[in-house]
Amino acid sequence: MSNVIEINNAIRRAELKAGKIVAIDKPAGWTSFDVVNKLRGMTGVKKVGHAGTLDPFATGVLLICFAGATKQVDALMGLEKEYQGTFELGAETDSHDVTGKVIAQHPVPELSREQIERAVRRYVGEIMQTPPMFSALKRQGQRLYKLARKGEQIELAPRKVMIYSFEVLEVALPEIRFQVACSRGTYVRALARDLGNDLGCGAFLKTLRRTRVGKYAVGSALSIEQFAKQLID
């Protein structure tokens, strides 16, 4: 596997054209393809891809593969991923995250940290998870999120995913700050939905930051600005 480029290392265009992986700290408000297109234009490398989509509101590690390194995209997508974020209890949204429309509101009971941690522990290990309608999965050639925006609902089959660890970092109701390490195909938004149902008050994903993909940690990921400053001929 190609070495990832880290902070304070010069980035040579020739190295990128020969095939390189760059860990980018994706900013909020950008799609994963926005980052790909920005770096493609900045570097002049035609073949650029990413290994694992991050939703626009999310931030953190996005692995960008240049030239020949794009052959490693599938293997990189299979790496364990770690996230930190916040669930907000007491409301449900149609997308199960902060970008969606609120479809239900509920009173939040006086939950203890122990009660919340007990509920969270049920999700550690191999679980069956139903993907959200607002996802990039396809049904008959159409992205589910496009069907969802039209108001269509489809019965989706649960899929096996692996939750390696799921920790409660802080409880400040109605918010719960968490850290989760999980396999490819896991929707953290779906964890928010399901945990909210278990706690009896609904929940949605308010913030999300991907802190690690395999060995690639956010501490050594480059911002778009840092990448631009380190890029040389």
- Domain borders along the chain are 4-78+215-232, 81-213
* pLDDT-derived band at 2, boundaries 50, 70, 90: very low
Q: What is the pLDDT of residues 58-110, one digit of tens each?
A: 999 999 999 999 999 999 999 999 999 999 999 999 999 999 999 999 999 99
- Weakest-pLDDT range from 69-78, 100-109, 151-160, 190-199: 151-160
Which of the residues 25, 55, 97, 194 is marked catalytic? 55
Count Cβ neighbours within 10 Å for each residue of 136-173 and write b for 16 or more, e otherwise.
ebeeeeeebeebbeeeeeeeeeeeebebeebebeebee
- Would strands 59-66 and 48-50 be described as parallel, antiparallel, or unpaired? antiparallel
Are the C-beta atoms of 88 and 175 separated by less than 8 Å?
Answer: yes
pLDDT at position 1: 44
- Per the CATH hierarchy, to which homologous superfamily does domain 81-213 belong? Pseudouridine synthase (3.30.2350.10)
pLDDT of 180 higher than 70:
yes
Q: pLDDT exceeding 70 applies to what percent of the chain? A: 88
- Strands 216-217 and 125-129 come out as unpaired
d(CA 121, CA 167): 8
Q: How far is CA 177 from the centre of its chain?
A: 16
- Same fold for the domain at 4-78+215-232 and the one at 81-213? yes
| Residue entry with tokens 């949204």 | 93
Residue 43: name the closest of 73, 65, 76, 62 by CA. 65
CB 80 within 8 A of CB 164: yes
* 233 has catalytic annotation: no
Is the pLDDT at 36 greater than 90? The verdict is yes
Phi (first) and psi of residue 63, to 5 degrees: -80, 120
CA distance 113 to 176: 9
CB contact at 8 A, 83 and 208:
yes
Higher pLDDT: 183 or 9? It is 183
Q: What is the rounded average pLDDT of the residues 6-31?
A: 91
Fold of the 4-78+215-232 domain: Pseudouridine synthase (3.30.2350)
